[in-house]
Structure 1
Amino acid sequence: MEELLLESLYRYFVQPQIDTNTNTIIGYELLMKELTEEGWRLPKSFSAIDPQITADLLIETTKVLSDKVRRLSVNVSREQLMTTTISEAIIQSQKQIYPTKLVVELTEDESPTKYSNEEVKEKLNYFLDRGMQVSLDDVGTGINHFHNISDLLPIASELKFALQNFSKKFIDKSMQQKIHFWHAMSKEYGLRLVVEGVEDKDDHKLIGKLGVNLKQGYYYSKPQLLKLPNDCCLY
């Protein structure tokens, strides 16, 4: 029985996004993890998780956080985006946290099924019509390279650049050029640019010098487990 619990228990961890100009928390990203024998770990495959589990957990979690910040961000792959159960849970979550905005972060993960940008855009517009925002996550990696997401830029509100997705240190000039590129795209389309994966003071200062004020990473706060109301005896 204990093994079954360890294999099937998922919870969201929350990590703040910081505006370093004002030193304030502007939102929280929800990061799903699985409880394993080694502790809380990222699931090996988000697509393999029962969509109903993801949907129920999202609704419970957003209910707890609804009065904490202006924005809550949730990672959604293209496969999850097109899954009716999860789509409906996203809509219900936005309803229950209003006037807080739910930001749908479209991840860079490849999906088992290939979806066209038109299909993805249609679903994202469905969310926009219901008061949500769209973030393009991990830009420049996976399926979220510029040529794959350029059609989605006009409907987005945010770009996220993840330092941790690259092997080179941020001090490397090629890394800074990538930031310059996405900063330019954010200016051109009027989008927020969040740099995540900021782990030390040097990265914090350098990103600020490049004109980016919205940041996320261990330097500010590690993701914290968000316990749900009935969790007291689970772990």
Structure 2
Amino acid sequence: MYRYFIQPQLDKFNNSLIGYEMLIRYRATADDRWTLPANFEAIPIDVQIDLLKATASELSLKIGSVSINFNRKQFLNPDIAAAVIEAQAKLFPVKVIVEVTEEPGEDNYALEDMQKQIELIKSHGLQFSLDDVGTGINVYDHIKPLLGYAEEIKFAMQNFRNEERTDEIPAQLKFWREVAVEHDMRLILEGVENDEEDQLADDLEIPLRQGYYYGKPHLFQLKSDH
């Protein structure tokens, strides 16, 4: 069974909740713990769509936005595009932000196809976000052609930790902050876990944040679960 967990995103300087990110989780039986799916590619498209529609119809949050993740293959799927467009209609005036994550092998998808799909969802009021900037394949030169389409970029501190590049975080964060300013985008810092990282974000004047330090993901139960 798949369900979404939601994690708060905040504006630290205004001390306000700006939105939630929806994170898909899996468990085989009611006795099992919820875990990250072993392979996001293996989640059937129809399961994702049904879950997204069910969650959107019950999500009545008085917040600015909800964010949902897809890899490029999923993002280009017309059925998923239709589902997120429907979700935006149900959730209005809450803004739906589609985050595209990086995964190896995603050079296979044509830039032109990405641009067309971004324009399609934006024509229906959704926003586009580039997740995991600076790590994996989402380095500057690779995503530069998409920066003009994005309202938001997300910098994941945990990815740098996983790649044993923790020492690079301050310089990389400064670089991506400048990219965000140049392209008039929001920059969300995710993976903030302790006082030191919170202070770094303060020092670099990055207000928008997400991480265990501010709030862990928690299960969004559907009515059918009760």
TM-score normalised over the length of structure 1: 0.90
Provide runs of 4+ in structure 1 moved above 4 Å: none
Q: Does 1:182 align with 2:165?
A: no
Q: Does 1:90 align with 2:84?
A: yes
Report the equivalent of 1:34: 26
Provide, for residues 162-213 of structure 1, a one-character-per-residue CA deviation record: whole Å limited to 9, x for no partner.
Answer: 000113475x3x2100001100000000000000000011111111101101
Residue 66 of structure 1 aligns to a residue in which SS?
Answer: coil
Report the equivalent of 2:222: 228
- Relative to structure 1, is the Cα distance of residues 200 and 112 closer, same or farther in structure 2, using a 3 angstrom cutoff? closer
**CA contact 1:66–1:96 (8 Å) conserved in 2:** no
Structure 1 residue aligned with 2:46, among 32, 49, 52? 52
CA distance in 2, matches of 1:109, 1:69: 30
Identity among equivalent positions (%) equals 40
Structure 2 residue aligned with 1:164, among 152, 158, 168? 158
CA distance in 2, matches of 1:157, 1:113: 22
Letter paired with 2:11: D
**CA contact 2:100–2:129 (8 Å) conserved in 1:** yes
CA distance in 1, matches of 2:41, 2:16: 34
Q: Does 1:17 align with 2:9?
A: yes
Structure 2 residue aligned with 1:139, among 121, 129, 133? 133
Structure 1 residue aligned with 2:149, among 152, 155, 172? 155
Provide, for residues 78-135 of structure 1, a one-character-per-residue CA deviation record: whole Å limited to 9, x for no partner.
Answer: 1111112211111110110111110000111235781111111110110011101001
Bigger CA drift: 97-106 or 64-73?
Answer: 64-73
Residue 42 of structure 2 aligns to a residue in which SS?
Answer: coil
CA distance in 2, matches of 1:55, 1:112: 22
Report the equivalent of 2:102: 108
Structure 1 residue aligned with 2:71, among 74, 77, 80? 77
Residue 22 of structure 2 aligns to a residue in which SS?
Answer: strand
Residue 46 of structure 2 aligns to a residue in which SS?
Answer: helix
CA distance in 1, matches of 2:208, 2:73: 28
Unaligned runs of 5+ in 1: 1-8
Letter paired with 2:124: R
**CA contact 1:199–1:218 (8 Å) conserved in 2:** yes
Report the equivalent of 1:213: 207
CA distance in 1, matches of 2:104, 2:89: 29
CA distance in 2, matches of 1:191, 1:113: 24
